[in-house]
Chains A and B, each alone.
Chain A
Amino acid sequence: MSRIARTFEQLAAQGRSALIPFFTAGDPDPESAVPFMRAMVKGGADIIELGVPFSDPIADGPVIQRSSERALKHGVSLRRVIEMARTYRKEDQKTPLVLMGYANPIEQMGFEHFADTAKEAGVDGVLVVDYPPEECERLVEVLRSRDIDTIFLLSPTSTNERVEAVGKLASGYVYYVSLRGVTGAANIDTQDVAQHVERIRQHVSVPVGVGFGIRDGETAHVISKIADAVVIGSRIVLTIEESANGEAAVPRIEVLLREFREAMDRSQKTVSLGSGKTT
């Protein structure tokens, strides 16, 4: 069983949802990545999404765009992000690590070489924003043969047919993007999310995470009762941006994660986790 599947299984047994923080690896500098991951896990993170900086982050709002630019100033590449994962993996064999980014750096590295390097470094999942299911069957195959999960996005406008197609390829979890727009846009409508998550569960057997637009404990609390995972992105990246430097951001990240964790764990969930189906 993959590290991601095991994590969801354990959480399900406890009736809890996964807390998945996202940050752009290499922001504000490459040295901060490992201390950030450490702080996130201390604060209660279950899985970490490492953003791979790209020159043209077309699906991201201004906050994550700026973080990408800061990381690129330090020359942070996909290879470098995999190295960060490798370093962190030495001290934590439990927390799943997911690389999230755009297609071109992977295309340039080559699928096989990328998958081998990532696997060997201890990466568990890959989410490529601009590879919809119809364009990435080969990558999924290459990753699957190395036991790396491919995580897909789903949106409010995904038809049932598409949700089903994603369900066939996805492993680990699927990531429901709750907004029509880019990362960090407006606040989300939790009722709308509940309906869509329900719909997704009818076609997808892996756990369903929700992200884009969750920035306070209250929303995280509500979403954690609906979904199997809560992804927090722009709110963390903003905290990093507002800190004087990487070192100063470390304790703030831990505090922020703990806030989300406590809000999410406040009361038992009413839906079962992991199985992907409501009871």
Chain B
Amino acid sequence: MKIYDLPDARGHFGPYGGTFVAETLIAALDELRLNYLRLKDDPKFKEELAYELAHYVGRPSPIYFARRMTELAGGAQIFLKREDLNHTGAHKVNNTVGQAMVARHMGKPRIIAETGAGQHGVASATVAARYGMECVVYMGSEDVKRQAQNVYRMKLLGATVVPVESGSKTLKDALNEAMRDWVTNVQNTFYIIGTVAGPHPYPMMVRDFNSIVGKECLTQMPEMCGRQPDAVLACVGGGSNAMGIFHPYIPYEEVRLIGVEAGGEGIATGKHSASLSAGTPGVLHGNRTYLLQDENGQIIETHSVSAGLDYPGVGPEHAWLKDSGRAEYVNVTDDEALQAFHDLCRHEGIIPALESSHALAYAMKLAKEMRPDQIILVNLSGRGDKDMATVAERMGMTL
């Protein structure tokens, strides 16, 4: 087993990651980094976090053998890590619980978050309610329109949702606006970033909080099938659910790690969100990573049927795992993801998130090429209740 200990002290994963922010934010990031480094190994903090994850989130999440999907694919056995069964319905809450606890220890009474689909916004509003904190969620005005249900959920939970009108009015602009809020209000405010992106220490911290997913799998898989899987699959938007399940498996070199990006209407059409498959390195949102950009370095608009994958960048650790060859990155189209969505509904009685359906779609393809004694583990990152309107619309119905 090779030792893997990235990032370095300044947040670099090879040439990626780092701290590309204006001087005005450096002190806030230093404060966060020092507090996080202190807390993460503090036995009392670890105990508190374990309690929250067990009693509030409902961990550990089970692993489920998808027998009928396996039969449908006709090859390798498909297992699902059931992050959809968490409180709030996705892996996102693993991270928001962790960061909210850091915020509490730092004495910050106000939390802010960015959100695209609304899942991270809901998970942030949830923990803010749980800990009695003020919560402001930035959301592109286009997304506010598209995700009305999640906007209402956040409001029910007591959060203020601020529509963002700048730029493309989507997730990346919401992140910009949250950063602007943070730099202005840093004295009383903690910024909970929703994925493994942003400046150091965010990519590391969000990964650490989500790696509970992979750690559980390391013990659950041998218990269930006597060994570790041959391949671990996860969808990649910003990359937090994928990093969460990949990270503990990085030293297990015989286990393939496969990230599945949103191919949208196909890479050739330009309407996709596949930063690793089709992007080039650059600097956005405080780190160096693969980006979807034009020849002048302007960030371009992205597309995916799943709002949670609709992001022009990707966490810097994925950029490093790609270049180093430790992980592979592929993409599936909107249509392929929808097919997998319907298949899982009909064959297993599980309604998956459209994001997770991307990983599932690739698992079905890959399984066909593998032997029946081989094992694929898919991170089922969330449930699909939030996607009812989108799926119905694609089928020509309105709810």
Contact = CB atoms under 8 A, between A and B. Distances in A.
A104 B27 contact: no
Given A104-B282, A180-B184, A180-B186, A72 B298 contact: yes
Interface residues of B, number: 37
Interface in A57-88: 57-59, 61-62, 65, 69, 72, 77-79
Interface string A160-177: 001000000000000001
A134 interface: yes
Contacts of B299: 55-56, 104
A190 B179 CA distance: 26
A147 B182 CA distance: 36
Given A54-B298, A59-B24, A135 B167 contact: no
A162 to B, nearest CB: 7
B22 A153 contact: yes
B26 A158 contact: yes
B19 interface: yes
B171 to A, nearest CB: 11
Given A108-B296, A157-B27, A135 B18 contact: yes
B149 interface: no
A51 B297 CA distance: 15
Interface string B6-48: 0000100000001111111011100000000000000000000
A177 B166 contact: no
Contact of B183 (A59, A105, A108, A135): A59
Contacts of A65: 166-167
Nearest to A60: B180
B20 A103 contact: yes
Contacts of A57: 176
A55 B281 contact: no
A65 B169 CA distance: 13
B87 interface: no
A181 B24 contact: yes
B291 interface: yes
Interface in A128-155: 129-132, 134-135, 152-155
Given A104-B291, A153-B23, A182-B180, A77 B296 contact: yes
A177 B20 contact: no
Contact of A132 (B26, B184, B280, B291): B26
B172 interface: yes
A102 B28 CA distance: 20
9 smallest beta-carbon distances between A and B, as pairs:
A108-B297, A157-B27, A105-B297, A77-B296, A181-B184, A103-B283, A153-B23, A59-B22, A104-B297
